[in-house]
Structure 1
Amino acid sequence: MKTFLRIFLIMIAAIITSCSNGTCNTNNPAPTASVDLDSNNGGISNGESNVALTPTIVLQFSVPMDPSTVNAQTITLSTNVLTGNKLTDSGSQNIPITTIIASANNTIFTFSSESPLLPSQKYYVNVTNALTTTGLPVTGTFYFTTGSVQFVAVGTNGTILYSLNGEQWESTAFGSKYINSVTYAESQFIAVGESGVIYTSDNGVNWTSQLSNSDQELFDTAYGSGLFVIVGCDGTVLTSNNGSAWTDSSPADKDFFCGNLFGIAYGNGIYVSVGQNYDKTQSVLATTSNPTDPESWVIGNDPSNATELTAVTYGGEKFVAVGAGGAIIYASKTADDWVEANDSVKVTTAQLGAITYANGLYVAAARDGGIIKSTDANLWSLATSGTTTPLYSITHGENKFIAVGNNGTMISSIDGESWTVITPVTTENLYGITSRH
């Protein structure tokens, strides 16, 4: 009985000491604060994918923060989760970030990465013990995944541009050689240029130099039937089944083509290459179904009598080649019996240096900045390009055409008719562009 009375008195004392000023506080939870990624103020959301390579990151705190504690020590961007003060993966590292900008009420904080992030990479935003104005620590971890590079453009002085969407571009460089063209096939980008350079990349950002076994200038690459084929000066033909080990498959007779090969396309089991003879008075047109056999090439006839054929494409079961003086010729999928397009009316006399095919439309770009288009390769019409700058290459991807040229010029179009100038990110000349399609 005495024990029971003692316990009862202790309980009464506890209740009395928990009350003050006539009010009992028997349930007084500890104060809390939280943080989240805020996509309503121009930022990204937690778990978001296909994020830009220079993302805007906005942190939304539930209560005002002490801004002096929201800094690069408490806010980190990394390739792994921060546990305590250590990254869970020893191979990961913190990414340098820009100055963190606070809102007027110190609940919203905005920053980005100092440099473009890598594509197709998962990143973590770690908040570690940032303090509220009352000294309460706030912690949180969030993640996002960057998108994959869809477009790559190349040009003078090793210039390489890359983009997720064809609208916002990032600039880098690899070496100092002029890069003439770039293509995408078998999960890799392949770029070629002067002095026999061949560069490959699986993400469009990090590049590797490959041994070409040639010192000739290389102009274009095509892929088909499990084979990459590069063409270049003096009738150079290089072949590879993986993009890294290359074989010189040029005809033994260096005068076989009697000139330089500027473009190549693949379709229906056939490769077609075009170019110009050595004295620059006649075009070169050649076909083969087996470019690894140097003796398999067949010289064709250019009915336009152009002094140069610069580029060729395959689409709509036709090969179409373009060149000097507005020359346009086409052939069926068997690549024989070439015909000059609507030879009675030329829509342009400018040199046509690039052509592509997509969505039932052939689109060619000219050295006077002009764009022409056709649905059948025979009847062509002028489009409104919005530029007079020489254009050298054109591609299609992400539901748009993009053409590139001198001084970093880029223009894009959804329908091939109306074109918009893309804000340049370089003043280098751009000679080639490709997409993942």
Structure 2
Amino acid sequence: MAVAHQPHRGNPECGPFDWIPIAIPTGWKHQKRVKTRENTDRAGRYGRILTRIGLTVFVGFFLNASEGFASDRLQEVNWWHRNPQPTGQHLSAVVAGPKSFVVAGENGIILHSANGALWETLDSPVQDTFMHALYTGGEFTLTGSHGIITSPDGVQWTERTPAGLGRGGELIHDLDRVDDRWAVLTGNAVYHSIDGDAWDRIPFQVTRWPRTAALGPDRLVIGLDNGMMLVHRFDIDDGWVEIPVLQPDAKAVSVAYAKGLYVARVTGQVLTSADALSWQASELEGRAWSSQLKHTPRGWISIEADATYAFSSDGANWERRTIDGFAGDWYDMDVSTAGTWVGVGRSGTLVTSRDGLNWDHRDSGAMPTLYSITHLHGRWIAGGADGMVVTSGDGIHWVATQVGRVGQFFKTHMVGERVYLWGGGYCDDGLCGDGLFFTTDGINWTKTETLPAELKPVQGLPDFHDSSLQPVWAGDRWLLQATAGSTATGSVFSSEDGVQWERVLANDFQITSLYGEVGLYIAGDVSGKIHVSRDLIDWTSVRLPSGGAISSILGSDGLYLASATSSGGGIFGSTDGYEWERLPITRAALYGGSEVDGSYWFLGEGGTIIEVDPRQPAPLANLSVRTSNAEQAPPVIAGFVIEGSESRDVLVRAIGPGLEAFGVEGVTSSPLLKVYSGELLMEESGAWTDRADADLIAATAERVGAFPLDPAGDDAAIFLTLEPGVYTAMASGLNTGFGQRLVEVYDAAEQENDQSALINSSNRGRIEPGGTMVGGFVVRGDRDRLVLIRAVGPGLAAFGLSGAASDPRLLLWHDDEIVDENDDWGDGVDPLGVADAAAAAGAFQLDMDSTDAALVFQASPGNFTIHVTLPEGGIGGEVLLEVYYLDR
């Protein structure tokens, strides 16, 4: 169960009636919790707030310019060039990940930075000039004309080029990706995939140059260099619809899609559409540079000619900006969720900003031109050609490493503590490029021995070798699947060190998926068979009734899942790897699966997305708040939310006299407790010993770990069984409003129940200088929870609430130690990250310049206490203390 709270966006002054529920999907249950979702965004499920200090990074060239500013403020922007050793190589693409930036460019160069200031150079798995960079689906993606590489962390890269593309095939013009859906644009076709492995080629005929592609939920838009667009709908598969030129002499259509809106940039105009068929035009003088039009956490950005860029918060209203002192062309920019801007350009130029207006020039430390940038897991990564990989732990100091021969490393695959690079571009002895490499630090690389087999791609999967060379860590060894020679037989190889490999399974059909743990090894093939072994010597084969290839095998702790690609394929489950049964979740053909934060995700036809979550919830179980009412004041208010489909037992207490045992003075003598659902009073209570269920209340308090109350005291308590919804607990004085009081809400469920949870809470009370408002919560279970904690005082004024505290300060305690703290949230470590967390939780927005306090914290299982205080000379008043549970 989990506790967090969500105040209504409307008016926090509404007291007990100002709460809204947070809906969490539920689904079918089989052995362990299973949730099914179709056509949903993975980020909605795993919305962990991994953000950083507000900083923006641009990639490319800037020229001195002063025209086109929408305000005088932009003309006052100051720039500093801090590139003491220009690299001489062009940077052309930049992308921001949850924790880092990646920049890429000419000759396969890749740069990585955790903060946009300190950069390191990485070796790339391929030699190519990277022109496009994306972060989606938990991966960074870099694209050049000859190939595609991806990385989970921006440091380790893997090639993902579809068959028939790149060197010796069709050149790549553009790539768009939304999670596991891909669209790769060439001169006369689009390669589409729902898993990055199996691709469909959708041809088209045009006389003009295709420039960009935008992938929407059910359709694809292509922009041509004469201002025309082509639209293809996947749901009806009726070919292509031509959108005529909407602006005379228009050139270079750049298209992008985000948040339900298609946006296109043509000469002199920006076009917007909700369906990609009917477009509305707004004026924007000039033309877009190259094909860089993208949506960032701060809004829409179009890379313009003459060292400028255009910015729009809604896609329709645009403002042109420039960077003074940026000489030369520039190619790309991106913004992290924390508000860091990064721009890259010619000759290794790299600039950063915290607001998109004031910029610092950084030393990229790269020799080739950079075309893209991104960041993840504390390391910055930039990619380019010549097999170079560039890494940095701080974004300032960079290390460049040459890996391989001339092959371009398009793909990075992280397994355990190792990252594998697959050489791309050329294939010898069944391996592409210079072979298969791995690293444990992103700097030092080890080349594996050539596998003892002539390899070729798996039939029905993309025609490139890394589709069949996916390493799997099995707890005590590495497993690798491959397809051999003209016979198209499949093999599984084993290695204890990742260098020397031994064939352990030779199969009549291609191996399409692998899973391994110590003492259990499972392989799936293209014919629908599962092959199981305890020792990698004796194998048992089981045919699943799907008739299709086994696209993925996932599992742990006695639960193993396999997905099949055929129509009616679906998901099969096993507890030992030998006996399998179809799970009644879906019969859709599934083309891929992966583990994300302990859950198993499967994707397939018709946009099917299925999550299987084997974990028990680690809830925020209990919450409490104590305030000091030095004078007659409104009641102490605690709001909480129960989500799910079943009722929940809750114990609510309002404690006054019971605080004296802890040395608290000036307590409320006779608290009065009321619990509301909206405007409906559910129950109220004075002294808990006067209630008929006093014995139940005492027993429940002991069971949930609450401190015992003196039967002679007049503390109040209520035991309730509540349906899912939003509730408010109000604690006032029965005879007076004076004194300190503690309000507690406990999850009183006797057994764990996946079908309901206490998730969000907020509490409002009064605090005076020298006093402390005390709150608390408990994290149950065996895994950490990400929480947002806010103490809002001045922010309440926006809702017409007078008498708010002037400058609240937050202190978070755990095991008698302060584990985190914040005073003015806008001056904290990661203010834009906190703002993003609030937006994700549905909390009302705070002014960046306010003196409210807020922080995001990864809470381990246990008890946490929150102190809210005021500085010396502060003005006392109302404070809203909130705890939001972010990663449900």
Q: Please, what TM-score do these two structures have when normalized by structure 2?
A: 0.28
Q: Is contact 1:353–1:391 with CA below 8 Å preserved after alignment?
A: no
Equivalent residue for 1:323? Answer: 224
Match of 2:171 among 252, 255, 260: 260
Is the Cα contact below 8 Å between 2:91 and 2:331 reproduced in 1? yes
CA–CA distance in 2 between the matches of 1:268 and 1:213?
22
Report whether the alignment pairs 1:313 with 2:214. yes
1:229 partnered with 2:141: yes
Superposition CA RMSD, Å:
3.5
Residues 419 and 185 of structure 1, relative CA distance in 2, 3 Å threshold: same
Is this contact kept in 2: 1:156–1:177, CA < 8 A?
no
- The CA deviation at 1:417 is 3.6
- Measured after TM superposition, the shift of residue 287 of structure 1 is 1.7
Is the aligned partner of 1:196 residue 2:108? Answer: yes
Could you report, residue by residue, the CA deviation over 1:120-144 in whole angstroms, capped at 9, with x for unpaired residues?
Answer: 6xxxxxxxxxxxxxxxxxxxxxxxx
Secondary structure at 2:107 match in 1: helix
The residue that corresponds to 1:300 in the other structure is: 202
- Checking the alignment, whether the CA contact within 8 Å between 1:155 and 1:178 is kept in structure 2 is yes
Cα distance change, pair 172–341 in 1 and its aligned pair in 2 (3 A): farther
User: Helix, strand or coil for the counterpart of 1:396?
Assistant: strand
Displacement after TM superposition at 1:432 (Å):
1.5
CA gap of 1:335–1:152, structure 2 versus 1, over 3 A, is: farther
CA 1:391/1:412 → structure 2, altered by over 3 Å: closer, same or farther? farther
Q: Distance in 2 between matches of 1:241 and 1:420?
A: 34
Report the residue type matching 1:183 in the other structure: V
Change (3 A) 1:339 1:434: farther
Deviation at 1:338, TM superposition (A): 5.0
Mapped contact 1:347–1:382 kept (Cα < 8 A)? no
Residue number in structure 1 paired with 2:284: 385
State the match for 2:311 in structure 1: 412
Q: 1:212 to 1:399 in 2, by over 3 A?
A: closer
- Structure 1 unpaired stretches of 5+: 1-118, 121-146, 158-165, 277-282
- The alignment partner of 1:299 has SS state of strand
* Contact persistence 1:267–1:333 (CA under 8 A): no
Q: Give the distance between the partners of 1:267 and 1:349, measured in 2 at CA.
A: 32
* Secondary structure in structure 1 of the residue aligned to 2:141: strand
For the structure 1 residues 396 and 248, does the alpha-carbon distance in structure 2 shift closer, same or farther, using more than 3 Å as the test? closer
| Cα deviation 1:301-320 (Å, max 9, x = unaligned) | 236x2533222233455432
More off after superposition, 252-261 vs 197-206? 252-261
- In structure 2, the partner of 1:238 is 149
Which residue pairs with 2:192 in the alignment? 287
From 274, 279, 293, give the equivalent of 1:375: 274
Pair 1:396-2:308 in alignment: no
Q: Tell me how far 1:342 sits from its aligned partner.
A: 3.3
Distance, in Å, in 2 between the alignment partners of 1:301 and 1:392 is 21
- Map of 1:64 onto structure 2: none
Q: Distance in 1 between matches of 2:219 and 2:303?
A: 24
More deviation, 189-198/240-249: 240-249
Distance 2:177 2:221 in 1: 11
Shift of 1:243: 1.8
Tell me the residue number matched to 2:131: 219
Taking a change above 3 Å as real, the CA distance of residues 400 and 268 of structure 1, as seen in their structure-2 partners, is closer
Q: Are the aligned partners of 2:296 and 2:335 in contact in 1 as well (CA < 8 Å)?
A: yes
Q: 1:394 touches 1:434 (CA, 8 Å); kept in 2?
A: no
Q: How far apart, in 2, do the equivalents of 1:335 and 1:196 lie?
A: 39
3-state SS, counterpart of residue 115 of structure 2: coil
The AA in structure 2 aligned to 1:298 is: D
- Residue in structure 2 matching 1:154, options 51, 59, 72: 59
Aligned length in residues? 271
Q: Secondary structure at the match of 1:209?
A: strand
Report deviation, 1:377: 0.9
Q: CA deviation at 1:209?
A: 1.6
Partner of 1:16: none
Cα distance, 1:179 vs. partner? 1.8
Q: 1: distance between equivalents of 2:237 and 2:121? A: 37
**Is contact 2:211-2:224 (8 Å) kept?**
yes
Q: Residue 143 of structure 2 aligns to a residue in which SS?
A: strand
Offset from partner CA, 1:13-61 (integer Å, 9 cap, x none): xxxxxxxxxxxxxxxxxxxxxxxxxxxxxxxxxxxxxxxxxxxxxxxxx
User: 8 Å contact 1:405–1:429 — kept in the other structure?
Assistant: no
For the residue of structure 1 that corresponds to 2:89, the secondary structure is: coil
**Separation in structure 1 between the aligned mates of residue 210 and residue 271 of structure 2, nearest angstrom:** 16
Question: Cα distance, 1:210 vs. partner?
Answer: 1.6
Partner of 1:350: 250
Per-residue CA deviation, residues 374-409 of structure 1 (Å, 9 max, x unaligned), is: 222112233211335746422334654332222311
Q: CA deviation at 1:196?
A: 0.8
Task: Flag the 1:198–1:380 CA change in 2: closer, same or farther, 3 A.
Answer: same
What secondary structure does 2:226 align onto?
helix
Change in 2 beyond 3 A, CA 1:385/1:239: same
Report the equivalent of 1:207: 119
| Matched residue type, 1:221 | A
Q: Supply the distance in 2 between the matched residues of 1:392 and 1:200 (Cα, whole angstroms).
A: 23
Change (3 A) 1:408 1:202: same
Q: Distance in 2 between matches of 1:349 and 1:365?
A: 13
Structure 1 residues 365 and 253: CA distance shift in structure 2, 3 A: closer
Report the CA distance between 1:153 and its aligned residue.
1.9
Cα gap change, 1:198/1:255 in structure 2, threshold over 3 Å: closer, same or farther?
A: closer
One of 322, 332, 336 as aligned partner of 1:436: 336
Question: Which AA in structure 2 matches 1:184?
Answer: A
Residue type of the partner of 1:287?
H
Describe the shift of the 1:205–1:370 C-alpha distance in structure 2 as closer, same or farther (beyond 3 A).
Answer: farther
Identity across the alignment (%):
20
Amino acid at match of 1:182: V
SS of the residue 2:172 aligns to: strand
Cα 1:266–1:389 change in 2 (3 A) is: closer
Name the structure 2 match of 1:9: none
1:407 partner SS? coil
Shift of 1:339: 2.9
Shift of 1:231: 2.1
The amino acid of 1:327's aligned partner reads M
Change (3 A) 1:177 1:340: farther
For each residue in 1:225-257, what CA deviation from the matched residue of structure 2 results, as whole angstroms up to 9, or x when unmatched? 4333322123x1223232211223435766688
Quick one: distance in 2 between partners of 1:297 and 1:199?
A: 29
Q: Give the deviation of 1:154 after TM superposition.
A: 0.9
Q: Deviations over 1:79-130 (max 9, x none)?
A: xxxxxxxxxxxxxxxxxxxxxxxxxxxxxxxxxxxxxxxx96xxxxxxxxxx
Larger radius of gyration: 1
Q: Distance in 1 between matches of 2:240 and 2:78?
A: 39
Deviation at 1:195, TM superposition (A): 0.5
